[in-house]
Chain A
């Protein structure tokens, strides 16, 4: 499933979050969107998902043009999203089991029992987690449940909105490993948003750097790591990511 975004503009009330953005993602690729707050990276992801008002431009997934908020049933199964805040992405009043059952019920997929157990197993949670409520889970465990929920309908594309930025460093490593593992096993396509260059270069092969609603530069992760970037802004991001130094902060 390829994704082609051409000259996409998104406006919220009077604020233009995306200004004529164009990127393309090949099937099976892991593509990163990097930027600071207000860059529009999350908005781009939500626009693909159908959660943001599109002003102009086109989004094509596998040749099929998407419009407005509506997405077909097939799309809703093929494209899933993992959100940033593990404390907000699970329904507080429903057990893990119920939340994993929901996508199956919506799409009319049978074999619920088997699939739920398989999904939990795949994200490294045992069946003992099945009937817990979110408040009984740690941040990392909640994020695993969110990933299981996204995977249970067997999607082809995963949209990841800063999936590990709210997690502790050690938990982040586990979740990143899980995401990589899942991707290689199922041949998924990822679009991952992050503000952390280390995470993006680790997880993605190509990335786009965004600032103030525009794509500043699109380059391969290897080029970014090797310092072969074109834009000054990208270079500044790189330097800032390396930590504090007296010279850098002047």
Chain B
């Protein structure tokens, strides 16, 4: 079965005044209709990977790869028109904080219908109906009321749900979620993840879940890629996480304080130069 997304030897570099920054250094993976988690700390390149796949690497960043294709479309050679068609329509991305990722001067409903009407030729009424349907699907209790609210008028959790609605309304095949719950309270996190879980399962989408929280990712995804300094240091199924072999993965697993355990002092990650080689 052909994979949904193929990434081979992807690298993202930024030329700066003081030298070249290599944010992503030659990573390769494939994604089918499954959930893949990409875990790393700040500077590991995980967010840059997500953005490169969506073609959202900001200038002066340069994206290079041997192969980067989604569902048969060669993303490396895609022109602006192809990208406009792909983004929102076939591939979607959810970002971390709805305060910053939703347009503050447009109502939530308008942002959702805008996405719809860009990708499909439908009437305003039909678009509104589909948008309301989507808001219901993300478990917003009063979709009509929320439809006409502005992003600053809703809580973080609701804003994130609105973002999910906006991104999934056209039924994309691939969803990249970049720290979708990091800005939310822990109980709200659970709700939002539940919604994401159900939607991904019902629509049979491929999901890339980018996060710094290894434990969260492993509870949500089927497979995990651990990134460090722009490279993938380990790739394993989440069921096998306890038997991870790379010292960085083991270190990440061990260093977080867990309820009920009493390890004083906490084991500290000893970074080794070879990992960044």
Which chain A residues have a beta carbon within 8 Å of chain B's beta carbons? 36-37, 139, 168-174, 176-177, 180-181, 195, 197-199, 201-203, 224-226, 236-246, 248-250
User: How many angstroms from the CA of A226 to the CA of B260 in the assembled complex?
Assistant: 7
| B268 and A243 form a contact (CB under 8 A) | no
**Distance (Å) between the CB of A233 and the closest chain B CB?**
9
Max count, chain A CB within 10 A of own CB: residue among B189, B212, B257, B271: B257
Contact A181 B265, CB 8 Å, known A169-B41, A201-B259: yes
User: How many angstroms from the CA of A249 to the CA of B195 in the assembled complex?
Assistant: 8
Which chain B residues have a beta carbon within 8 Å of chain A's beta carbons? 41-42, 156, 185-191, 193-194, 197, 212-216, 218-220, 251-252, 255-262, 264-269, 271
Nearest CB in chain A to that of B253: its residue: A169
Q: Which residues of chain B have C-beta atoms less than 8 A from A242's C-beta?
A: 259
Give 6 A-B contacts (CB < 8 Å), ordered by A residue.
A173-B256, A202-B266, A240-B189, A244-B193, A244-B220, A245-B219
| A248 and B268 form a contact (CB under 8 A) | no
**Distance (Å) between the CB of B157 and the closest chain A CB?**
10
| B185 and A249 form a contact (CB under 8 A) | no
| B255 and A237 form a contact (CB under 8 A) | no
| A243 and B219 form a contact (CB under 8 A) | yes
User: How many angstroms from the CA of A240 to the CA of B194 in the assembled complex?
Assistant: 12
Nearest CB in chain B to that of A250: its residue: B194
| B268 and A202 form a contact (CB under 8 A) | no
**Distance (Å) between the CB of B112 and the closest chain A CB?**
23
User: How many angstroms from the CA of A98 to the CA of B159 in the assembled complex?
Assistant: 42
Q: Which residues of chain A have C-beta atoms less than 8 A from B266's C-beta?
A: 173, 176-177, 202
| B194 and A169 form a contact (CB under 8 A) | no
User: How many angstroms from the CA of A249 to the CA of B196 in the assembled complex?
Assistant: 11
Task: Name the prevailing secondary structure of the A interface residues.
Answer: helix
User: How many angstroms from the CA of A245 to the CA of B193 in the assembled complex?
Assistant: 9
User: How many angstroms from the CA of A66 to the CA of B115 in the assembled complex?
Assistant: 55
Q: Which residues of chain A have C-beta atoms less than 8 A from B262's C-beta?
A: 202
User: How many angstroms from the CA of A201 to the CA of B214 in the assembled complex?
Assistant: 20
| A249 and B257 form a contact (CB under 8 A) | no
User: How many angstroms from the CA of A172 to the CA of B266 in the assembled complex?
Assistant: 10
Q: Which 8 A-B pairs have the closest CB atoms?
A: A249-B194, A202-B257, A36-B185, A243-B219, A170-B269, A173-B255, A168-B41, A177-B265
Contact A36 B216, CB 8 Å, known A170-B255, A198-B259: no
Nearest CB in chain B to that of A227: its residue: B260
| A37 and B251 form a contact (CB under 8 A) | no
Q: Which residues of chain A have C-beta atoms less than 8 A from B258's C-beta?
A: 198
Contact A169 B256, CB 8 Å, known A176-B266, A249-B194: yes
**Distance (Å) between the CB of A157 and the closest chain B CB?**
21
Contact A169 B197, CB 8 Å, known A201-B257, A237-B186: no
| B187 and A168 form a contact (CB under 8 A) | no
| A199 and B257 form a contact (CB under 8 A) | yes
| B251 and A170 form a contact (CB under 8 A) | yes
| B256 and A198 form a contact (CB under 8 A) | yes
Q: Which residues of chain A have C-beta atoms less than 8 A from B264's C-beta?
A: 180, 202
| B156 and A244 form a contact (CB under 8 A) | no
User: How many angstroms from the CA of A195 to the CA of B268 in the assembled complex?
Assistant: 22
| B187 and A237 form a contact (CB under 8 A) | yes
| A238 and B194 form a contact (CB under 8 A) | no
Contact A36 B186, CB 8 Å, known A170-B255, A197-B259: yes
Seed contacts A169-B256, A170-B252, A173-B269; 8 additional CB < 8 Å A-B pairs: A168-B41, A176-B266, A180-B265, A201-B257, A201-B259, A202-B264, A226-B260, A244-B190
Contact A198 B257, CB 8 Å, known A168-B212, A236-B187, A243-B215: yes
User: How many angstroms from the CA of A139 to the CA of B41 in the assembled complex?
Assistant: 12
| A241 and B268 form a contact (CB under 8 A) | no
| A201 and B41 form a contact (CB under 8 A) | no
**Distance (Å) between the CB of A182 and the closest chain B CB?**
12
**Distance (Å) between the CB of B217 and the closest chain A CB?**
9
User: How many angstroms from the CA of A181 to the CA of B264 in the assembled complex?
Assistant: 10
Q: Which residues of chain B have C-beta atoms less than 8 A from A243's C-beta?
A: 215-216, 218-220
**Distance (Å) between the CB of B114 and the closest chain A CB?**
29
User: How many angstroms from the CA of A240 to the CA of B181 in the assembled complex?
Assistant: 12
**Distance (Å) between the CB of B31 and the closest chain A CB?**
20
Q: Which residues of chain A have C-beta atoms less than 8 A from B252's C-beta?
A: 169-170
Q: Which residues of chain B have C-beta atoms less than 8 A from A250's C-beta?
A: 194
User: How many angstroms from the CA of A173 to the CA of B163 in the assembled complex?
Assistant: 33
Q: Which residues of chain B have C-beta atoms less than 8 A from A203's C-beta?
A: 257
Contact A248 B265, CB 8 Å, known A168-B41, A169-B255, A201-B259: no
User: How many angstroms from the CA of A245 to the CA of B220 in the assembled complex?
Assistant: 7
User: How many angstroms from the CA of A199 to the CA of B212 in the assembled complex?
Assistant: 16
